Amino acid sequence: MKKDYTCMTDMKDCVVVGAGAAGMSAALTLARARRSTLVIDAGRQSNLVAAEIGGLLGHDRRPPDGFYAEGRAQLLAYPSVELHLSEVTHSVREEDGSFDVTFGDGRRERARSMVLAPGVDYRYPQLPGMDERWGGAVFHCPFCHGWEVADRPLGVLATGAVGVHGALNLRAWSDQITVLTNGGALTDRQREQLAIGGVGWDERPISVLDGPGNDLRAAVFADGGEIPLGALLVKSTLYQRSSLARDLGASLSEPDEMLSVEAIKVDAMCRTGVPGLYAAGDAATSVPPSMAAAVASGYLAGAAAVVQLAAGY
């Protein structure tokens, strides 16, 4: 069936899906190359739950909403950039290599290229008291949150090699660390590694995370006992928020025990292997996610798109 584009504006050079650190970085690179760029902002940036950004040079300890507000203002200062508050519900790559994009509000656009930077969903073990503390006293990345919880008694909610690795790494921020397996069992070798590193462990099932307000005071076990905690590092698995990458033919990695990321596979310039399709940020990372890494990958994706557009294909 012939497609009807009568309600659509002229074809864009690029549609950037996502207005987090990676998406805005890609859009800024495209804007400075004077490429018409449509940025789609669904307002679901993962770190909005956190009080501060940790480890991003020039923005360290800044509230995330302030960072994003300034980023949007900087982008919109370029006449070739448009910001659209919506989400992409469907996209196909046409025979001419362009991308046909449909948004949640019914709007449709075509673009010569696309950058996927939608972020990811963080999935972690569900315990009472965890959700309301996520991004604060309960966290997934010590490089992002370790400074803020330093010198408190810290827990690591994980089993196996992941729990051991996380606990030993966490010693940079505290000398009071306990691996909590929530009913899982450690091996004798893993207990030996923890003991050598001065890390404790407790294999009892947890019933609730307790504390005043959003603060954390203790993990309470199913048998009624408890262990004092000031913060808890939790193993999380990162999954794609939508089927866009798969729909457009990109390949994804499978999460495993150590690398818990369902990531869009990209090369060194954030190219997915699908001509004209790039991916950046948490959705395309093979390393622990961070704002700094997202900004860098967004720049690379934007630059690669500019080069491709200049080549005329």
Print pLDDT tens along the chain (313 aa).
344 433 445 899 999 999 999 999 999 999 999 999 999 999 999 999 999 999 999 999 999 999 999 999 999 999 999 999 999 999 999 999 999 999 999 999 999 999 999 999 999 999 999 999 999 999 999 999 999 999 999 999 998 999 999 999 999 999 999 999 999 999 999 999 999 999 999 999 999 999 999 999 999 999 999 999 999 999 888 999 989 999 999 999 987 666 678 999 999 999 999 999 999 999 998 777 899 999 999 999 999 999 999 998 5
Q: Where are the alpha helices (DSSP H) in the chain?
A: 21-32, 64-76, 142-145, 160-170, 188-196, 244-247, 291-311
State how far the alpha carbon of 271 is from the alpha carbons of 170, 213, 278, in Å.
Answer: 34, 44, 5
Q: Which residues of 276-305 are buried (b: 16+ CB within 10 A; e: fewer)?
A: bbbbbbbbbbeebbbbbbbbbbbbbbbbbb
State how far the alpha carbon of 4 is from the alpha carbons of 25, 84, 108, 141, in Å.
Answer: 32, 21, 10, 47
| CA end-to-end distance (rounded Å), the chain | 25
For residue 131, what are its two tokens?
Answer: 């959700």
Task: List, in order of start, the domains of the chain with CATH numbers.
Answer: 12-122+237-311 (3.50.50.60), 125-234 (3.50.50.60)
**Of 276, 296, 225, nearest in space to 56 by CA:** 296
Report helix, strand or coil for 210.
strand
Q: What is the pTM of this model?
A: 0.92
pLDDT at 4: 43
The Cα–Cα gap between 290 and 268 comes to 17
pLDDT at 93: 96
Contact yes or no for 281/20 (Cβ under 8 A): yes
Contact yes or no for 93/249 (Cβ under 8 A): yes
Contact yes or no for 141/134 (Cβ under 8 A): no
**Residue found by looking up tokens 């910001």 in the block:** 83
Phi/psi at 67 (5° precision): -60, -45
**Of 235, 308, 250, nearest in space to 283 by CA:** 250
Tell me which DSSP letter residue 46 carries. G
